[in-house]
Structure 1
Amino acid sequence: MWSIGELAERAGATVKTVRFYSDRGLLPEASRSSGGHRRYGAEALERLRLIRSLRTLGLPLPEVRRVLEDEGAAGRVLEDAVAGRLRELGSEVRALRWREAALRLVRECPPAERADRLRLLGAVNVPPSTAPLARFWRAWLPPRMPARATSAFLEEAVPQPPDEPDPTQVLAFARLHAMTTAPCPGGRQPQPEVHRVGGAHGAAALYAGLAEAYELAGPQLRRARDPYPGEALDAYVAAYASAYDSPDNREFRRLLARRLAADPRLDRYWELTALVLTPPGGAPEPTPGSADDWLRTALERDNAAAA
């Protein structure tokens, strides 16, 4: 039987540490001496070493207690605890990388711009959250649009902050955050005309068709090809034709071009999104906005050629 000091010495710990774990019931004592001093058996040494190993991995005390107490499922409990800690560490690492890039952004900008950049950065959570961007789009999309269609659109429209951002990407995301959280003029976002055609399910079909057209246009954007009529444009027009319950003919294509030109646009959003998604020195990643621009130009050229 060992005293608390002897156990601490064998484990390479302090008496304070042993007492701390004993007081919390993680390290049960085997007995007490006639003078009331704690006595520990040899099994306490292995338990103390396990506790210290788990704490070194960063597991909180409640998780350590679960591993110690659930002997029948200790392996599974330990795996769950380690997986949870890994997720937490991943979030912490992303936060540190974001802070590093943000600090570089402030250090490298002209002194006259620092106050504005500090204001932008101070409004963004660390690690950054995409929730404000998603709320912005939920208000933009037609009400009562099916949840699956909404989720599919948000997956394409809301850029995920990179795990290892550079200052340019941090600034672009902070500006996106500011743009999507600012009050809209008149208190309400301007809605595209197409949202008022065909109801919520019609809009869902439209966005599904547009997603297909954007996917077809993506390779052309990556190759930096000039807009041209083809499969991507046909899918683009077909999506609108379905929403308007109209055949895809020359008259409809001219009407569509006029309506698209009159609809409100979010060019700045897509410019910033491309900056967030594009690593330093990389080619710009296609976005729904850049794909839509490419397809609109293709439509205009198709109409002009027909005229």
Structure 2
Amino acid sequence: MDGNDAHYSIGDLARRTGLTVKTIRFYADTGLVPPTDRTTAGYRRYDVHALARLDLVRTLRELGLDLAAIRRVLERETPLHEVAAAHAEAIDVQIRTLRLRRAVLRAVAQRASTPEETTLMHKLAKLSDAERRRLVHDFIDDTFGGLDANPAFVAMLRSAMPELPDEPSAEQVEAWVELGELVQDPDFRAAIRAMAEHQAAERADGDTTGLHHDLTATVRSLVGAALADGIAPSAPEADAVLAGLTAAYAETFGRPDDAALRQWLLTRLETANDPRAERYWHLLAAINGWPAPDSLREVFEWFTAALRARLAAC
């Protein structure tokens, strides 16, 4: 029965393919693998071509193709390579979904999350890349929209979007959930809106000096040294540090280094001194796998306290 003209019973096919008789009969009834002919008693018989067709159906089913797609391949309505490519893409989506679910479950386990937290975590985590970007862009539009704020800063915000990898860690999922909650927090939005309004007011007064990375480096250097030396913001030794800082700001902004500058600086720092703003960038770095940015909270708190102490003494 091994020749090309050999005919097999359903039982023979079942033994050769490992499929059940019921499955083979189903494929026959649906027309996927019709019998070659029948015996005089009405029993189905299959030739080697039907056997090969059945092997292909079994293989495609094991690869996950549905019966409709298999029928299109068998009837040559759709080339097999096109069906395979489409199915591979669908599997890629399923794999990404499963990896994301695994990361959410691990985050839930690590955090001992409540049912409510778990629901929110799942809801935010399953957003697509486009939906995540839309959520952040909505936050930026709400906080900076309609204002002539620092364009370089707004451009930096829009260029830095959360991008969860295909296989995120539990920590990355947690970071995204926290960021997703943060950008929807009305109180945080109000705080950032106040910063944007302050920026716009300064630009209206002629400030077009940019992002001030050099000033940030100066503050980090001078105040970092003071902190390392244990100098308190109100200590007499802090006067020289503060003088160096105000001189740098006066030069950058083209203003006299006087009491008015110090008051302006204090207002500027107090407006921007929301720890959640720094947290935003740390969460974004965690999501995207970037190096964690240095924290500037302590140095700017020292700077603010030093200014406040001197202005209160005046």
User: Into which bin does the TM-score normalised by the smaller protein fall?
Assistant: 0.5 to 0.7
1:83-122 matches, cutoff 5 A = 83-106=89-112, 117-122=114-119
C-alpha separation in 2, matches of 1:24 and 1:296 = 74
| CA drift at 1:96 | 1.6
- The letter for the 2-side match of 1:122 is T
Partner in structure 1 of residue 276 of structure 2: 268
Structure 2 Cα separation of the partners of residues 44 and 144 of structure 1: 72
The alignment partner of 2:56 has SS state of: helix
Distance 2:109 2:189 in 1: 36
1:73 to partner: Cα distance: 3.2
Indicate the residue corresponding to 1:286 in structure 2: 293
Is 2:142 aligned against 1:139?
A: yes
SS in 1 for 2:255: helix
2:182 counterpart SS class: helix
Q: Tell me which amino acid in the other structure corresponds to 2:292.
A: E
Aligned residue for 1:241?
none
Q: Find the partner of 1:124 among 121, 125, 137.
A: 121
Residue of structure 2 equivalent to 1:160:
164
**Distance in structure 1 (CA, Å) of the matches to 2:22 and 2:274:** 61
Is the CA contact (8 Å cut-off) linking 2:144 and 2:193 kept in structure 1?
no
Residues 136 and 180 in structure 1, CA contact (< 8 A), matched pair in contact too: yes
Which one of 189, 193, 206 corresponds to residue 190 of structure 1?
193
Paired residue type of 2:118: L
Cα distance 1:268–1:122, how it changes in 2: closer, same or farther (>3 A)?
Answer: same
Which residue identity lines up with residue 123 of structure 1 in the other structure? L
**Contact 1:8/1:14, CA 8 A, preserved across alignment:** yes
Deviations 1:18-51 (A, max 9, x none): 2343444433443455555544332222222222
Pairing partner for 2:15 from 9, 12, 15:
9
Asked if residue 47 in structure 1 is aligned to residue 50 in structure 2, the reply is no
Whole-Å separation in 2 of the counterparts to 1:74 and 1:161: 31
SS of residue paired to 2:193: coil
Root mean square deviation, CA, Å: 5.1
How far apart, CA to CA, are the structure 2 residues paired with 1:162 and 1:270?
Answer: 26
Q: In 2 relative to 1, CA 41–132 (structure 1 residues): closer, same or farther, beyond 3 Å?
A: farther
Report the AA paired with residue 293 of structure 2. P
For these two proteins, the number of residue pairs brought into alignment is: 251
**What is the CA–CA distance in structure 2 between the aligned matches of 1:61 and 1:144, rounded to whole Å?**
57
Which residue of 62, 67, 72 corresponds with 1:56?
62
What does the per-residue CA deviation read over 1:63-100, in whole Å, with 9 as the maximum and x for residues that have no partner? 44444444773224323322331232232123223312
* 1:203-256 CA distance string (max 9 Å, x none): xx99xx75x969xx8xx8xxxx97369xxxxxxxxxxxxxxxxxx742399698
From 255, 258, 264, the counterpart of 1:251: 255
C-alpha distance after superposition, 1:93-135 (max 9, x if no partner): 23223312322331xxxxxxx5xx4432221226543364454
Conserved? CA contact 2:281–2:293, under 8 Å: no
Change (3 A) 1:178 1:43: same
Aligned-partner Cα distance in 1 for 2:186–2:71: 48
Mapping 1:10-25, distance limit 5 Å: 10-25=16-31
Code of the residue aligned with 1:124 in structure 2: it is M
**SS of 1:158's equivalent?**
coil
* Structure index of larger Rg: 2
Structure 2 distance, partners of 1:195, 1:39, is: 83
Percent identity, aligned pairs only? Answer: 24
| Alignment TM-score, normalising by the size of structure 2 | 0.56
Q: Is the 8 A contact 2:188 2:276 kept in 1?
A: no
The answer to whether the 8 Å contact 2:104/2:173 transfers is: yes
Q: TM-score, normalised by structure 1?
A: 0.57
Contact 1:134-1:154 within 8 A present in 2 as well = yes
- SS in structure 2 at match of 1:227: helix
Gapped regions of structure 2 (runs ≥ 5): 1-6, 223-251, 305-314
Question: Secondary structure of the residue that 1:123 maps to in structure 2?
Answer: helix
Q: Is the 8 A contact 2:143 2:190 kept in 1?
A: no
Aligned to 2:245: none
Question: What residue is the counterpart of 2:248 in the other structure?
Answer: none
SS at match of 1:190: helix
* Shift, 1:272, TM fit: 5.7
CA-to-partner distance for each residue in 1:157-182, whole Å, 9 max, x for gaps?
4353683424x544443333333344
